Structure 1
Amino acid sequence: MKKTFTINISGTVFHIEEDAYEILQKYLVNLKNHFGANEEGKEILSDIEARIAEIFTEKSDDEKKVVTIDWVNQVIETMGTPEDFAEEEGEEEEVYVTSPKRKRRLYRDPERRVLGGVSGGLGAYFNMDPVILRIIFVVLFFVTTGAALLAYIVLWIAVPKARTTAQRLEMRGEEATVKNIEKSIREEVNEVKKSYHKFKNSDTYAKGKKSMEGAGDVTYNVFKLILKVAVVIIGVILILSGFFGLLGMISSLAIGQSFVQGWPLVWGPEIHFPDFFNYFVEPGTVTFGMIAVGLLAGIPLLAMLYIGSKLVFRYKSNNTAIGLSMVGVWLIALVSLVVVSASQLGNFKDQGSAVISNTLPCDSCQTYTLDMAEDKYENYAELDWDLNNLKAVVVNGDEVILGKPKLDVEKSGGDSFVVSVKKSSRGRTRGEAREYASDIIYNYQVNDSTLLFDPWFLLEEDGKWRDQEVQITIKVPEGKAIHLSEEMIEIIYDIENVSNTWDGDMVGKTWEMKPEGLTMKELSESTEDRKELPENTEEL
């Protein structure tokens, strides 16, 4: 039993014997070498392969038969070899006259179609002009009251379209040999070239080309004009931004208020930067830091002004040295500011705290009311900055730094109410941090059964910001209660309670300390427990 292979010819799979495969492969390689690897040669070879697949399919008769060497030899004999028709080049006319015509097959001709190519295919089959057949169809349409149209549609559906060169040859009654396939394809290529050459030399092509060139020139000029206008607009924006940005920066650094504040695309904060930095860094570094900040912000603004002027006025300059120098100065300022900032960050290295606890004098009090004292700084002018609950106000010409305390409630270990004030701060060392914490000023008052808490804590005069905080803790004995006034919402912070009530919902209510934790009392109970006590006012 001979060895077989599975091959794919023009999209159709065949089983072929080994010796037949070798002969077929040599035949196809020979054809490929003859026609070349250009597009025209590839098209010829593709149509030849399609014809070979068609012949093999006809011989297989829809059964899974193996392609034998006899089939391959018959295909080669039918199709011919390049050597066969190369010898007949000088006798081409005689060969076509004497060669027997192949029986015609009916196809639809896609190359001469108006609708479906039925008339073109019938014209090729009967060797008639398709125009005559179209006239006949039109006449029959009226004579048969539309039956001719139905016949045309049936032919359109039933008759296959001549897709390959071999099918087009069969449609004209010519043998689908290698030579005829080559001739047909070359004729089609030449026809296309002639049609293109004729169109290229026509007046229509010349006028169309001239119109396209004109339209292209107009489009180019319009886009060029739009680009120029856009460049000028961008340049004007850069000039205005750079100019007013420089004015805003200089006025902010020098006098502490930018007169271009609120303008778009410019520097305009109302901050006196020297005083602002004095709150954070040592006095000796403020001037140096301001120079570095001015260079870091000013050099890009100058670059914007320079680039904008070049875009608007289109002058040429080769001041590369100046540009590189500005970049170098900017980098030096950046490195210097980073070094100074890193050294100042050492002021926040360690943390320290100071705790002051006081037991409230009234042992018989069952409920204390927690309320806010009067805000003494409410009507003073504030400086335009706010950092971590800190703000600065001007009191009689002096700047005072204020901070917001935080209040929490815990269970007491004894039978008395205790107020614990924890002041914390940061510093280069733990001792320095404790010293900063001890300098924090905070007061509260005891008035009968009412605790009045100041809404702000103060830093000492000329004090520096070191992340200062004040944490107030009210320690409530078990069985006793506190009442939170509405104003306490300003300073209470995450008070734990049995019902997990949010801080904003705790105010205006009375809360009793029970074994399980802080519990809200009913209104009737809380009213009973709040008694009038003798006056006993003390400021701590």
Structure 2
Amino acid sequence: MKKTISINISGILFHIEEDGYAVLKKYLDAINKHFSHYEDNQEIISDIENRIAEIFLSNLKNNKQVITAENVDNLIEKMGTIADFKAMEEIEESNSDKTAEENVSEENDFYKYITPPGENGSKGYKKITRMERSKILGGVCAGFANYFSIDPLWTRLIAILLLFSGNLKFGSFNWMPWNASFSLSIGLFALVAYIVLWVILPVSYDNPEDKNVKKLYRNPDDRTLGGVASGIAAYFGIEVLWARLIFIALIFAGGSGLVIYLILWIITPSARSITERIQMKGGAITLDNIELTIQENLRPVDNKEESTARKLIMAPFRVLGMIINGIGTALGPIGNVLLAIIRVLFGLIIFLIGLAITIIPIAALALYFNIVPQEELFVWGSLHLPTTWITDIVTDWLAIAASLVILIPGLVLITLAISVWVKRSIIEARMGLITFGIWLLSIGVCAFQIPSVVNEFNTNVTHTTSEELNLNDRVLVIKTDTERGRAAFKEQISLEIKGVDVGSPTLIKEFRARGKNYNDAMLNAQSIPYEYSLTDSVLELSRAVDLSGINKFRVQELDLILELPYEQVFVMDKSILPIIRSTLTKNGYKIRDVNSDNHWVFNDDGLLCLTCRSEHKKSEADSLSRVKFSEAYFMKQ
């Protein structure tokens, strides 16, 4: 029978044997005495006590409720003694072996009660369990990490990546009568597997300590964005520059680096305490390492000289600030009033810009999810864009992410305007960091979703049809309709008129469209509707293609080519000027030459105006054409 004493370490109540308590008390007194001269010594002592409490908790298992003297000895073996590293410091600082021995002797007199025990026996076999004391959700990932002696963060990261994985397709089984196909959702399988392991794995309340397990932390002392890259560099023992370059390369190699960085930022804890900083670098949590870490943090950091690039960038803003402050000081009270007015107006401008930026994505989302019922999306003036085109191309996640990419900067501008008005920041650093993380995550979602949208426009196909026009040697009049409509989205066509030496008047229609492959693009091109009319010798063309009845937008376009045989007389009405291309200027004519009175033909020398007053073409072919039609009615007008 042994007497026990109740003690409180780090807010946890422990029952400890009397002889073990005596050794522990002397151990803690020595630690308190040694670290008492450091700044923030209470935080250091508290961190050490937290570590001691963790080790004691790992000893309380299998209905064991009392800390024994042997447990205290094992604790001292793990943590080390102050005499261990104090003696080394004294030896390094002394040039005399005799003085070093005296110093070590003095310290050993004070710490002589601490004598590390022998090595523990070997551990038994390992089995997979759920770790209850280090769980986040069930403790399955922590159990596998304990089994493989790795940081639980890696198993959790693998679980998250599996959960958001896509489908694994095994192809089609065409030899079966029902043409079956089989695919496996990796994410669903991972979720079911996790639940099953949660149910069948036994629970363990141990808190095992393995010195060989390195833990990944975000490094708050050397961070550019979140400290993830510097934490990984410390974990793998490489230069932080290489870790950052790897993330940058992965971002430009498909965007995966951004997603991995954000996930690690979320699930990786920050190394805040001294013990966590030691674990981040892969060291054992001993008094020696605690001492070294404290001394590293106490070393003064030389202020780096501001770079030339930063000076150049900041120079205009600093000069402007000096000018404004100088004006305010020179003008006195009136200057203060003027500065206040400028501040309010500046804040108002920023607020209106931020409000405009914020309203646009909110309105777009409301239309996208049909919160505001509307068949067509207003674009510009009388031009309307069917909303079905947007929902066909843009997925829900892409719509939300793209809206957040625009919305968050707008909200930041509004908040900045309010901060300018009240002359203080109204956003906490943590909230700003969370908002920035959401914005980066939205950019990552867009980076992953946009390639699938671009793939829908991967192939460009042209579908060509031609129709002969029966004119019976009459003068052809070419005109277009002038009514474009208000409730439809129309794409303007282009018209080229060219001459051919043989054949009859022919209207060639080249329908162009895009698609994810050749067949899809061809179907999209063939679905383009277009109508024209030929009444007697008047050819009336529609000026635009009505795309409002098409289910999806794939850059549908139409080019018309009107081929007229040589010496076929025709008239171009002014209504065709908005659509005519590659016809007038390349033959030396101008827009003013096109009217209902001028008659035209094609010959071997190209386009010829038979009735233009200032005719510049006088080739042999042109002279023959004029002679041929010299007796025509239109030449006598």
Give the TM-score normalised by the residue count of structure 1.
0.46
User: What is the TM-score with the length of structure 2 in the denominator?
Assistant: 0.39
Higher relative contact order (CA 8 A, sep 6+): 1
